[in-house]
Amino acid sequence: MSKGKGNILKIIVVTIALLAISVISGYTYMYIKEKPGGLADRTLSKAMGLDETMSIPIGSTPEDAVQQFRESTSNTRLVHQEPVDDGMILFTQRKNSEAASNLQLEYVRKNSFGWKWVWGGGYGIGDIDPSEYALYYMNLPKLDGIDTPFPMVFGTIEHPGIQRVTAETEQNGSMSITEAKLIKTDMGEYVWFMMLPSSEGTPYTVKVYDEEGKQVGSKQNEMVNDSGSVTLGKRSASM
């Protein structure tokens, strides 16, 4: 073998070795980051204000990730999955609950090893008078330093006449209107959600409309981790 060919072979071998080391190093870093109790869990725990680091398991599917994290899922049912960038939003409800209305939202993210829970929350409401309440809602603010589709507001429609839900926010002196997505579950109920451009503490106004397009209720909120209701105001004859 000539000296020139030998040098080329050495270069090829060294290049392959460096690529292999790079791939192995990248895989190792990703595992250290995404493993239960790893760097990602440490960052998330800090963003949530926890003193100890959570150990979030890796699931094979979005639902499996939630089931492993929540540990007790025999009393819940999945009502909807909504794809988002790099992840999935799951809506679940508790079965046989004493609450007249309940809803849980879970956000899971896809990584190189599977799916991991990132953020979520839910509420349960006791007695409901559908002639008084238009909807229930819960805010989920954005976590500092964590890439998520939040802030978000979501909830359940309690009055059958509600056909549209919006949120108005003011940014840089201009008003922004966000339309909620309404989803009919297999139980014939409606859940709704919308991703807001506002940050934590920023006020926004929820407005609800009937089948005739008339506004029948509104409420101003702040984007903080909280839940509540919107009552019906002026009703149309059908309501």
Phi, psi of 160 (to 5 degrees): -65, -15
Domain identity same for 20 and 90: no
Phi, psi of 13 (to 5 degrees): -60, -45
Q: At what angle do helices 39-47 and 3-34 cross, to 10 degrees?
A: 40
State pLDDT tens for residues 108-161: 999 989 999 999 999 887 766 666 889 999 999 888 888 888 899 999 998 989
Phi, psi of 190 (to 5 degrees): -120, 130
> Within a domain: residue 54?
no
Quote the CA–CA distance of 138 and 45 in Å, as a whole number. 21
Domain identity same for 104 and 26: no
Quote the CA–CA distance of 92 and 102 in Å, as a whole number. 9
Domain identity same for 103 and 216: yes
* pLDDT in the model for residue 234: 46
Domain identity same for 8 and 105: no
In the predicted model, residues of the chain with pLDDT beneath 50 are 234-239
Domain identity same for 30 and 84: no
Domain identity same for 14 and 89: no
Domain identity same for 24 and 84: no
> Within a domain: residue 160?
yes
Domain identity same for 21 and 103: no
Domain identity same for 29 and 123: no
**Domain span at 30:** 3-47
Laid out side by side, the sheet with 133-140 consists of 181-184, 190-195, 152-157, 133-140, 227-231
* pLDDT in the model for residue 239: 40
Number of domains the chain is built from: 2
* pLDDT in the model for residue 238: 36
Quote the CA–CA distance of 32 and 10 in Å, as a whole number. 32
Domain identity same for 72 and 188: yes
Mean pLDDT of the chain: 83
Quote the CA–CA distance of 106 and 111 in Å, as a whole number. 16
* pLDDT in the model for residue 183: 94
- Go through the chain and tell me how many residues it has: 239
> Within a domain: residue 130?
yes
Quote the CA–CA distance of 85 and 52 in Å, as a whole number. 28
Domain identity same for 39 and 116: no
* pLDDT in the model for residue 236: 38
> Within a domain: residue 7?
yes
Decide: 100 and 125 in contact? Cβ < 8 Å: yes
